[in-house]
């Protein structure tokens, strides 16, 4: 919230909310709902961020990164993620299991390189 002129401490104020760009609306609407709740009830509504659809993949990627740091092989990682134990076909039909693990390893390395910033700015 920006204060253009005057002070918010001197009594009633005029509040304008500018929404520019359709892509920015999704992030601003929840904040606007919370502000309306504050104005109506005098209390902040409990903040609940919508679930990030990337979360399951990010968790899997962190597991892969941990496994790599512990020296796990692609087969070890695939066995844990895909399941099947020793009887798993590795690389498997059409090599899809191995390709899946390779993509996760590449993403884990990228996550390691970019750190938390990569997740926060949504490049991962």
pLDDT at 102 over 90: yes
Name the DSSP class of 9: T
pLDDT at 93: 63
pLDDT at 46: 72
For the chain, which residues make up each domain, given as ranges?
1-50, 55-120
The residue written with tokens 């401490």 in the block is 9
Which tens digits make up the pLDDT trace of 11-60?
A: 777 777 666 777 767 777 777 787 888 888 887 777 666 678 888 999 99
Tell me the mean pLDDT in the region 95-109: 90
Q: Which of 19, 23, 20, 16 is nearest to 2 (CA)?
A: 16
pLDDT grade for 79, boundaries at 50, 70 and 90: confident
pLDDT at 119 over 80: yes
How far apart, in whole angstroms, are the C-alpha atoms of residue 63 and residue 45? 34
How far apart, in whole angstroms, are the C-alpha atoms of residue 24 and residue 27? 6
**56 C-beta neighbours (distance < 10 Å), count:** 10
pLDDT grade for 88, boundaries at 50, 70 and 90: low
């Amino acid at each position: 919230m920006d204060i253009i002129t005057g002070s918010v401490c001197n009594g009633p104020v005029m509040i304008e909310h500018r929404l520019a760009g359709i892509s920015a609306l999704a992030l601003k609407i929840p904040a606007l709902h919370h502000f309306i709740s504050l104005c109506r009830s005098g209390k902040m509504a409990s903040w609940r961020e919508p679930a990030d659809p990337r979360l399951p993949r990010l968790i899997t990627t962190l597991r892969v990164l941990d496994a790599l740091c512990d020296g796990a092989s692609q087969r070890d990682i695939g066995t844990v993620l895909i399941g099947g134990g020793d009887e798993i076909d590795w690389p498997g039909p059409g090599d899809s299991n191995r390709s899946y693990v390779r993509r996760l390893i590449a993403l884990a390395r990228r996550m390691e390189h970019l750190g938390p910033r990569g997740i926060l700015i949504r490049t991962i």
